[in-house]
Structure formats: C-alpha cells, structure tokens
Amino acid sequence: MLRTFGRAVAMTSVLALMATAAVAQDRNAAGGPQASAFTLETDQPRTPEQEAVRFDKADVSITVLPEDKAMRGVTVLDFTVLSPVEALVVELDALFDVSDVQVDGQTIPRDRWSNPEGRMTIQLPRPLAAGETTALRIAYGGHPHTARRAPWNGGWVWATAPGGEPWIGTAVQLDGCDLIFPCIDNSNAEPGRVDLHLTAPSNLVAPGNGVFQGKTDNGDGTTTWNWTIGDPNIYAVNVNVGPFEEVSGEYRSRFGNVIPMHYWHLKSDKPEDVQRLFAEFPQMLDFFEAYVGPFPFGGEKMGVVETPYLGMEHQTLNAYGNGYAIEERGYDELLQHEFSHEWFANQLTNWNADDMWLHEGLGSYMQPLFAGWLRGDRYMQRELADQRDGLINRAPVVSRRAQTVDDVYNRPTGPGGDIYSKGSLIAHTLRMTMGDRDFFEALRILVYGRPDPAPGNFRPVTRSTPEYNRIVNEVTGRNYDWFFNAYLYEASLPVLQQSRDGDRLNLEWQTPAGVFPMPLEVEVNGRVRELDMRDGRGSIDTPPGAIVRIDPENKVLRQLDAVDALQAYERAQRDRQRASQ
C-alpha cells in the first residue's frame, strides 16, 4: 500500500490525488453505508472453528449495480476439515442482506446461523470429522461499505469517469476481504484458489485478478467476466468496473518464460500517457527479476488497472490512480511501489499484521534500489536520505505480539509510517552489514522459500520477522539476533557516543537492546578504515587537525542530532500554525 506518513509522500503524488479526486466527483464521500468496527479491522485472531479448517477455494460471483451503488453476490467456499467441527465461521460485512445459506447443498434455517458485527457463524447439519470436505454457499447483496478515503479508509468506490460512465473499484487492504465477499479475514487463511465472476453493464469492462477465462453476454444488457487466481493474498482480490481500453504485450524473462503484460485504462486517457506508463512495465520487471527473483505470477499476468483512488497492490492487477504524474525520479513512484508488493505481500505474505514491515519496508527499499539501477548511486542515496528524514521512532517496528492492521497503522502504540521508511533503512543497513551476496540470498529464501527460485518451483509463503532473523543467521553462519533486537524490537535508534583521549577517538554504541556489535567505517584524511566494534566499542587514532567522517557512505541507520533538530523545528512550526488558526 502507498505510504502517507511524514515526508514520505512526494508532492507530485499529492497533486495527482487532488486531480483524480476532482474527476471522481467526491467519490470518497462518507455518505454511503458504513460497516461495523469489527468488520473494518482486519487480521484479527481466528476462532477455533476457523483454525480447524483449510480454506481450499472461493468461487465468487458478483453483479455490480452502478446506478444503485449496490451489488448482488453468491460465494461458495470450499473447506477441508483439519480437526472436528460443529460450525463454520467466516467474516462477511453485516451491511449485506443474506438471502440464503447452504452447506453441501442443504439450506441452513435462519435460526441456525448468525452474523453479529460481521463474524458469521453457521451451525452445521452434522459434525464434521478431520479429513472431510464441505462447501458453504452464501447468497448476499445490498449497498456495501462505501470507502471514506480510499485506499487508506477503504471499501467500495463509486465514481464517474470523464465520459460520464460508472467507474468502480474496491480497496480493502486495511479493512479486509469481508467488505467484498465471505472469507476468513486473516493472512493465515488464504484460499488455494479464487474463481471470480464479475457481471456488469455490457458497455463497461470488468478486469480481474489472475487469468481471464472468457466472458458471457447474458442477453439482458449485462456481461459476465470470468477470472481465476491461484494462491491469492486474501486482501488482494478486487472488483473493477469501468469504461476501459486494454493495452497488452509480452515480457521475455531472464528465467526463460514469457509473461503477459496488461494495462486497463480509461478510454479518455491521452495515448501518449498510456504508452509512456506501459513502457515502464518491462523496465520494472527487468529490475525486480534481476534483484529479487522471478516474477511470482508469470503464469498469470502482470496486470494494472486505472482506479478512481490512488493505488493498491492487488495480486496480478495492481490499482493505479497517479494521474500519469511526471516525477523527478524518472519513473512512476506509485506504480513501482505497488508492483513491489507482488513479491512483498502477494508472494511473501506476513504471518500477522505485526510483521507488516516485511511488506512495506522491503517493498519501500526497492525504490532506492530501483533509482540506483536506473540512474546511479547518487539517486539511490537521495531516496534513502528522504526516507531518513521522516522517521517517527515512537514505537518498535515489530511489537512481538499479534496485532490488527489498525493497531499497526493508526494507533499511537503502533509504528505507523515507520514500517515503510524505517523498514527500508533497516533493510539497507542489513545489506551493508551482510554484503550483497548474503543479503540477496537471504531475501530470496525469505520470499520464495529457497535460494534458487525458478518459474514453477515455488509457491507463495507466509513469513514472520523471527523467520527472517533465522534465515539471515543460517545464510551468514553468524548470529544476527543483536541486529533484529536493536532495529525491529526497539523504538529508539542506536546512539553512537563519541569521546576523545588525546589523539584517540573512542566510539561506543548505546541501545536498550544490549550489546550492539555493528561494525563502523571511519574516514580519516580520506582513508577509510572499518572498526570491528565487537563489544559495541572501538577506537581509532586521529592525528591533530585530521578531517574525520564517521560512516561516510551512510551505511548504518542511527540517531542523528541534525535530523532530530529538523524534526523538532518542523513540529514547532506546525504547532504554531495550528494555534494561529
């Protein structure tokens, strides 16, 4: 998901958002239906009944009714029972009217199911034993939750394209799949497959995730578009309907496969804008496949759809609403960030929202690397410097306890935007400490589950921060617990204390995490030496009048007085501005 904290949003993105908002005609107004507080949380703990089943498949049929800002849906959920159960529990927004519930073809009476606050419990006709399979069918519909400020406060977005046609999208990363269809709204309950059938007025197009399975003219002014998605990230299945045209092409991968590329854009867009953006698709694939590994969904597609909100990382169909901004970076920042999530969110999914930095921090680190890949190290360092200036450091990036997405993003006890920029800078410091060979090998194992990924030899994985720590230790043959303890599990940054003893410069790390043996480069009169700092201390001779620079290439994330002073000044300016209003 795009970031919005501190200095992290470029002004070009802000202006693009404003322009798109004008086109969409107040599309995110909160006048529509609003879901319960429970439904608007995601990644909440599963119930025992949910942990007792494996979510094999969802067959989701949705009819979009633009004039009424409404929908009708029928979803069939297939489960395999892992331990005995007497009920099935799923999440579905209670705003929907449920007209029929069936288990294995048998209708469940109304007094045998309930859906308080959006957690739906269905009493089974008979208990199910381990190894049995079952199919839950739910028919539902109505006016779904309207996004208040998509994508940050998500839901359904009902907009109007410049030509007057309906333009509809969904964005539910921070709110959950239950705003669209019945599911288990937890990152540990991703289905093995989703078949998606989108029915819309025939003058509109309904691109979907995964592989196109054909369309059917229903003879009543509507058309159904059919898609199938393998191993989807649970929040990355989305609904898009609009007056789209399609641009397509093929990318010949360094791994020997051919990847379909598709971009669905509004008919009213300027052709030169469309072609300029589409030209970035193979460029981004080149970079990610070179630095990380194979595009995870090459057997399906690299897809992008233009949306009436800024963006989101929907699997094989990334949402794009940046208005074709031309940015000083030389590439579209939003498109590149959302595309990074095909690796860091959709292929690798966090075990819990507490590990969200694995999505956002590693995804954000791809931006400085991409800038360096395109234009050289000076541009990589500029991106890293911009990220450094916006850190909050109010809470640990990882709390080591189960969290909801709202806990992480929006509550004062959570890290907020630090999961983006601080996560990126942590990744950079880890790379500088480990070296490129070990860093990228550990990254591949984290993302693919193996060091030698190739098309067809991996599937999506679910990961936690301790697992990443373990992988780093195994790849390097060294214990990096001290690194994860200091950077991920503490809010404050390591502090480097300096003192002098004659011509001797003494350096000592201080962090609540304990001994911090981070090696450190020191440049004295143009000559760079590395201090071991094995016990968190080191010293070096500095002749009288010597020019000394500590960490001259900014390899190590640490507390800096100049940044603290800048942030204090900016806070004071904001406080004065608020007081004068």
Say if CB 505 and CB 548 are below 8 A apart: yes
> Burial letters for 126-138: b for 16+ Cβ neighbours within 10 Å, e otherwise?
eebeeeeebebbb
How far is Cα 175 from Cα 147, in angstroms, rounded to an integer? 10
Catalytic site includes residue 338:
yes
How far is Cα 364 from Cα 561, in angstroms, rounded to an integer? 25
Residue located via tokens 């002073």: 565
How far is Cα 406 from Cα 408, in angstroms, rounded to an integer? 5
DSSP letter (8 states) at residue 202: T
Q: Which amino acid is at 25?
A: Q
Q: Give the pair of three-digit tokens for residue 406.
A: 């709202």
Q: Own/partner pairs for 198-201, CB < 8 Å, 24+ apart?
A: 198/62, 198/64, 198/224, 198/225, 198/226, 198/227, 198/239, 198/241, 199/61, 199/62, 199/63, 199/64, 199/223, 199/224, 199/225, 200/63, 200/64, 200/66, 200/225, 200/241, 201/66, 201/166
| 360 in a labelled binding site | yes
Q: Hey, how many other C-beta atoms are within 10 angstroms of the C-beta on 535?
A: 11
Q: Own/partner pairs for 108-117, CB < 8 Å, 24+ apart?
A: 117/36, 117/37, 117/38, 117/39
Helices (H) and strands (E) in the chain, counts: 13, 27
Q: Give the pair of three-digit tokens for residue 208.
A: 């979907």
With CA atoms as reference, report the closest residue to 165 among 221, 232, 241: 241
Neighbouring-strand partners of residue 318: 304
DSSP letter (8 states) at residue 242: B
Q: Which amino acid is at 542?
A: T
Q: Hey, how many other C-beta atoms are within 10 angstroms of the C-beta on 546?
A: 15
Length of the chain: 581
Which one of 313, 338, 383, 490 is the catalytic residue? Answer: 338
How far is Cα 265 from Cα 322, in angstroms, rounded to an integer? 12
Which one of 420, 468, 480, 487 is the catalytic residue? Answer: 420
| 337 in a labelled binding site | yes
Q: Which helix (H) or strand (E) holds 398?
A: none
Collapsed DSSP state (helix, strand, coil) of residue 18: helix
> In 390-512, where does DSSP find H-type helix?
405-409, 421-434, 436-448, 465-476, 481-487
Preceding omega of 151 cis (within 30 degrees of 0):
yes
Catalytic residue numbers, as ranges: 338, 420
Binding-site residue numbers for Zn(2+) are 337, 341, 360
